[in-house]
Chains A and B, each alone.
Chain A
């Protein structure tokens, strides 16, 4: 009974606290699936600041696979996990990052975008955003393996909306596992990037 009460209260809290925090861009009008408010966070990552970032190699929309370890010693890395293609917030978030290349470059940081969608889906979706300057990677198969390594695979098989900032030594320096219904705070991320300069 106690467990049932807890589940009920989590459901109510999700209803109350989840809500739209974005405006709809005309770029995606009529093409975005509206899942409604979702449970803000549905995973329990064990990773913390100071941990070694789990390595991965994933196929990219551009063709060549991308490995986190390939950046070691060269660039800081921001990994932007978003839950799914063709959904609200996600469809807003990366187009914003797409105009901030200068800000990433200034801070010697590269951005990697990851979802659990397959490459054809990501190709079609990111094509609507214009030409993205950063690699978009597919964590489709084995399904969500990288999201699972980072402890952010939700119970319905999509990733959390999460940002990980990793320094040139491969150490995690910032984690923002964000309410899935909202866009992460850009200023907080940039502030952390500047600290690594």
Chain B
């Protein structure tokens, strides 16, 4: 009888541990919707100098709000996700559209988080699609869970309000559509228009 109690206790503790270690999608942090505060997540320092320079960070891990730009476009992707693969050239077009406009280049920064991807996998994705904006690995899905365990690709656009405050101004799963239209949409939401 005593053995049965011990077994039952071990089983219950195991289930509790399981729930803590592997929260179900429902028990992940909820996905921040438009208007919500976005968690000021910690990010690993990019390995490539160009990426560190782009984000103006020198030490890691660093907080998302440390990125010195008013608007941050955050893509949650995976190398293994067919829709992310299909979307990669479209996101590159968006990045170029931002980069060629000096007034947008410093105002908007683009960043990708490889959900469940190691640094090796993120590099493979970067090299294949010639991605110039920073991509960071999230091998253990820690960041992915903090943003609601979203499907991929997922796009958050955040207004960096300073003092470690980030406000969601766009939150959507799947393709954002035409890069120029998307850019106009987020600038309108942020208060401003893209100059032709």
Contacts and interface: CB of A to CB of B under 8 A. Distances in A.
Given A8-B7, A26-B151, A96-B121, A21 B80 contact: no
A178 to B, nearest CB: 14
Interface of B: 7, 10-11, 14-15, 17-18, 21-22, 76, 78-86, 115-116, 118, 120-121, 124-125, 128, 141, 144, 149-153, 173-174
Contact of A26 (B11, B121, B152): B152
7 contacts: A16-B17, A19-B22, A23-B149, A25-B151, A95-B81, A96-B79, A102-B128
Contacts of A21: 116, 141
Nearest to A103: B124
Interface of A: 8, 12, 15-16, 19-27, 29, 37, 92-93, 95-96, 98-100, 102-103, 128-130, 183, 185-187, 190
A23 to B, nearest CB: 4
A128 B81 CA distance: 11
Given A25-B151, A26-B83, 17 more contacts: A16-B21, A19-B22, A21-B141, A22-B80, A23-B76, A23-B151, A24-B149, A24-B151, A25-B78, A25-B83, A26-B81, A27-B83, A103-B124, A130-B82, A186-B118, A186-B121, A187-B118
A15 B18 contact: yes
B142 to A, nearest CB: 12
Nearest to A9: B10
* Nearest 10 pairs of A and B residues by beta carbon: A19-B22, A25-B81, A96-B80, A23-B115, A187-B120, A92-B80, A27-B82, A26-B151, A95-B82, A26-B83
A186 B78 CA distance: 13
Given A12-B14, A95-B82, A23 B141 contact: yes
A22 B84 CA distance: 14
Contacts of B174: 26
B104 to A, nearest CB: 27
A183 B151 contact: no
Given A23-B141, A26-B173, A99 B116 contact: no
Contacts of B85: 95, 98-99, 130
A21 B115 CA distance: 9
B120 A25 contact: no
Nearest to A186: B121
B48 to A, nearest CB: 17
Nearest to A89: B80
Nearest to B25: A24
Q: Which of B84, B116, B118, B153 has the most CB of A within 10 A?
A: B116
B69 to A, nearest CB: 26
B163 to A, nearest CB: 31
Contacts of A93: 80
Nearest to B15: A15
B11 A12 contact: yes
Contacts of A23: 76, 78, 81, 115-116, 141, 144, 149-152
B80 A183 contact: yes
A157 B83 CA distance: 31
